[in-house]
C-alpha cells in the first residue's frame, strides 16, 4: 500500500513538472520566432514585409469598397480585420473610406466610420475633406452629420476653397432649393469665407437665388 502511494506521488510530481516545463517553453515560442525571423536572409525578410503590406492593402481595399457600397456590416468587419480607417486610395486621389462615403451621401456609414475612429478632417490629394465632397454634391444630411461629428468647415482645399465656397461657386446642384438649404447649413457653421467671389461665382449665385419660372 505504501509503495503504491509513493508511486502515485511520483507520477503526480512528474506530471506537474512536465506541465511547468511545457508552459515555460510556450512562453519562449514568440521570442524564438522573432529571433528566427531576424536571422532570415534579407531578401526573405523583404518578401515577408511585402506580403504583410499586401494583406494590409487587401483589407483596406475591402473597407473602401464597403464605404462606397454603404455596407456598414462590412465596414465593421474590415475594421475588425485590421483595416486602417484613414488609409488613402492611391488610385482615387488619395481618398479615404470617409471621402467615399461622403461622395455617396451616406450619413450612416459616415457616422459609423467616425465612431470607429476615422479622421473627419482628413484631406485627399486635392486637399478636399469629406465635408468638401459632401458640400460639392449637395448631400445635406451627410453635411449635417459631418459638422456634428467634428468636421471643420474652415479647412480649405488646394484651390483655397472652403466647403461653403465650393458649394456656392462650384457645387453640382440640379435643384435651387437643395442649393439654398446646403448653403444655409454651411453658413450656420459660421466658418465659411464668401467675400471676393469671382464674376462667374456671383453669376452662379444669382442664377440659383432668383425665383425662376417652372
Beta bridge partners of 89: 95
C-alpha cell at 43: 531578401
| CA neighbor of 191 nearest in space, from 160, 154, 146 | 154
Mean pLDDT along residues 90-108: 94
Statement: residue 152 has pLDDT above 50: yes
**Percent composition of the chain: helix, strand, coil (DSSP 3-state, to 5):** 65, 0, 35
Can you point out the beta strands (E) in 31-187? none
Mean pLDDT along residues 94-114: 96
Q: How many residues does the chain have?
A: 214
CATH 1.20.1290.10 fits 39-209, yes or no: no
pLDDT attached to residue 37 = 53
| CA neighbor of 114 nearest in space, from 129, 93, 126 | 129
The pLDDT tens digits for 180-202 are 999 999 998 864 443 333 344 44
The pLDDT tens digits for 28-82 are 434 444 445 566 665 555 444 434 544 455 789 999 999 999 999 999 999 999 9
Do the beta carbons of residue 171 and residue 182 sit within 8 Å? yes
Looking at the chain, the whole-number percentage of residues with pLDDT higher than 70 is 62
pLDDT attached to residue 7 = 52
Tally of CB atoms within 10 A around 1: 5
Tally: H helices and E strands in the chain: 10, 0
Statement: residue 106 has pLDDT above 60: yes
One-character DSSP codes across 135-157? HHTT-HHHHHHHHHTT--TT---
Q: What is the mean pLDDT of the chain?
A: 75
pLDDT attached to residue 21 = 39
Task: Enter the pTM of the model.
Answer: 0.65
The pLDDT tens digits for 161-173 are 999 999 999 888 8
CA separation for the pair 142, 148 (Å, rounded) = 10
pLDDT attached to residue 194 = 38
pLDDT attached to residue 84 = 95
pLDDT attached to residue 42 = 59
Cα 201 → chain centroid: 32
Do the beta carbons of residue 103 and residue 64 sit within 8 Å? no
CA separation for the pair 129, 166 (Å, rounded) = 11
**Residue 97: CB partners within 8 Å, gap ≥ 6?**
63, 64, 66, 67, 75, 85, 87, 113, 118
Amino acid at each position: 500500500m505504501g509503495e503504491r502511494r509513493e508511486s502515485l506521488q511520483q507520477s503526480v510530481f512528474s506530471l506537474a513538472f512536465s506541465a511547468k516545463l511545457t508552459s515555460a517553453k510556450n512562453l519562449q515560442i514568440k521570442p524564438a520566432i522573432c529571433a528566427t525571423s531576424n536571422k532570415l536572409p534579407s531578401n526573405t525578410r523583404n518578401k515577408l514585409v511585402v506580403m504583410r503590406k499586401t494583406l494590409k492593402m487587401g483589407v483596406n481595399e475591402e473597407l473602401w469598397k464597403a464605404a462606397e457600397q454603404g455596407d456598414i456590416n462590412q465596414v465593421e468587419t474590415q475594421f475588425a480585420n485590421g483595416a486602417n480607417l484613414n488609409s488613402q486610395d492611391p488610385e482615387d486621389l488619395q481618398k479615404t473610406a470617409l471621402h467615399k462615403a461622403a461622395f455617396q451621401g451616406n450619413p450612416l456609414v459616415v457616422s459609423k466610420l467616425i465612431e470607429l475612429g476615422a479622421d473627419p478632417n482628413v484631406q485627399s490629394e486635392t486637399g478636399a475633406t469629406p465635408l468638401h465632397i459632401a458640400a460639392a454634391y449637395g448631400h445635406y444630411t451627410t453635411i449635417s452629420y459631418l459638422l456634428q461629428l467634428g468636421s471643420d468647415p474652415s479647412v480649405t482645399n488646394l484651390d483655397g476653397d472652403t466647403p461653403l465656397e465650393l458649394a456656392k461657386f462650384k457645387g453640382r446642384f440640379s435643384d435651387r432649393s437643395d442649393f439654398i438649404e446646403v448653403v444655409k447649413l454651411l453658413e450656420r457653421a459660421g466658418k465659411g469665407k464668401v467675400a471676393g467671389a469671382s464674376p462667374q461665382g456671383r453669376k452662379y449665385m444669382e442664377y440659383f437665388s432668383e425665383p425662376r419660372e417652372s
